[in-house]
Amino acid sequence: MSEPVLKVADEGRVRILTLNRPAQLNSMSDALYDAVGHALNLAAADPGVAVVILTGEGRAFCAGQDLAEMENRPTYPPGEVHGFGPFMDALDSFEKPLIAAVNGLGVGIGLTLLPYCDFVFMDEGARLRAPFVTLGVTAEAGSTSLLPALVGWSNTADIVYTGRWIDAPTAVAMGLAREVTQAGTVLDRARAQAALIAPNPIVSLVATKRLLIHARLDAARAARAREDAVFRGLEGGPANLEALAAFREKRPADFSKL
């Protein structure tokens, strides 16, 4: 029997969601997007869950979109919607405290989901990257609104224009993460933070989180709509195809003629 793509465990009033595609560095397939979105919705509705921790199995937190699936997208019956969109709808409106325990590399959505988290803790060896431009596409997940608000314009430009790796201390200095933890202890640090929150009345936590996200929700969703439209225009274009071919062929991409 195959392992589930998402592991769910309750520790008292804390629910831990663990991305569980370690062989694929926890890259996001439609199945994993669906599983996480569904799990967030269930946690939001569960009167016994006060806090959610999101982490990854193995050496990665989340390696972004599954590029193999990006080239060969699944087809679904008319009217069925899966993957990134429903996941984002669950994430951006999640009304309970959400903690990210970044145990390893976070790429693409593995970075851009972090502004939706109330606390981000990073293992000292973890690194983040937003490679959208290098893939011939553009930013996603409302990051063109949330990242400047969180880390400032110049830091956002550094993250999204260069696609370079951001190590844990730099992420903290930018404001993208709260704290660097010693190797192998990031989940324990997230648990300790959750333990400070979980005893409080859930109704008050939900009311407070709802007030906190109210101002950002409209802005983030408007940014997502703009990003999605531009992304669709670039996806499958010459730059994107060259980037995917280079990934498949394990060579540097050549955009010099584009």
Please report, for the domain that includes residue 108, its CATH number.
3.90.226.10
Classified as helix, coil or strand, 234 is: helix
State residue 91's pLDDT score: 97
Average pLDDT score over the chain: 94
Strand order in the sheet with 166-167: 60-62, 105-107, 127-129, 166-167
Classified as helix, coil or strand, 51 is: strand
> Structurally, how many domains does the chain consist of?
1
Token pair in block for residue 16: 């831990």
Span 101-149, pLDDT tens digits? 999 999 999 999 999 999 999 999 999 999 999 999 999 999 999 999 9
Cα–Cα distance, 156 to 83 (Å, whole number): 26
High-pLDDT (> 70) share of the chain, %: 95
Q: Which of 45, 50, 39 is nearest to 7 (CA)?
A: 39
CA angle 80, 146, 69 (to 5 degrees): 35
Kindly state whether residue 189 falls inside one of the protein's structural domains: no
Kindly state whether residue 118 falls inside one of the protein's structural domains: yes
Residue-number span of the structural domain to which 168 is assigned: 6-184
pTM of the model: 0.93
Q: Tell me the pairing of strands 14-19 and 6-11.
A: antiparallel
Token pair in block for residue 222: 């408007």
Token pair in block for residue 11: 């520790």
Q: Is a pLDDT exceeding 70 seen at residue 70?
A: no
**Contact of 237 with 60, CB cutoff 8 Å:** no
Kindly state whether residue 221 falls inside one of the protein's structural domains: no
Kindly state whether residue 25 falls inside one of the protein's structural domains: yes
Tokens 């509705």, residue located: 45
Cα–Cα distance, 130 to 163 (Å, whole number): 5
Kindly state whether residue 101 falls inside one of the protein's structural domains: yes
Helix 202-234 vs helix 84-92: angle between axes, to the nearest 10 degrees?
Answer: 150
Tell me how far the alpha carbon of residue 125 is from its chain's centroid.
18
Kindly state whether residue 60 falls inside one of the protein's structural domains: yes
Kindly state whether residue 211 falls inside one of the protein's structural domains: no
State residue 150's pLDDT score: 96
Kindly state whether residue 131 falls inside one of the protein's structural domains: yes
Span 18-63, pLDDT tens digits? 999 999 999 999 999 999 999 999 999 999 999 999 999 999 999 9
DSSP character at residue 123: E
Confidence of residue 215 (pLDDT cuts 50, 70, 90): confident
Q: Is a pLDDT exceeding 90 seen at residue 80?
A: no
Token pair in block for residue 195: 């333990």
Q: How far is CA 139 from CA 17, 31, 94, in A?
A: 25, 22, 21
Cα–Cα distance, 21 to 3 (Å, whole number): 9
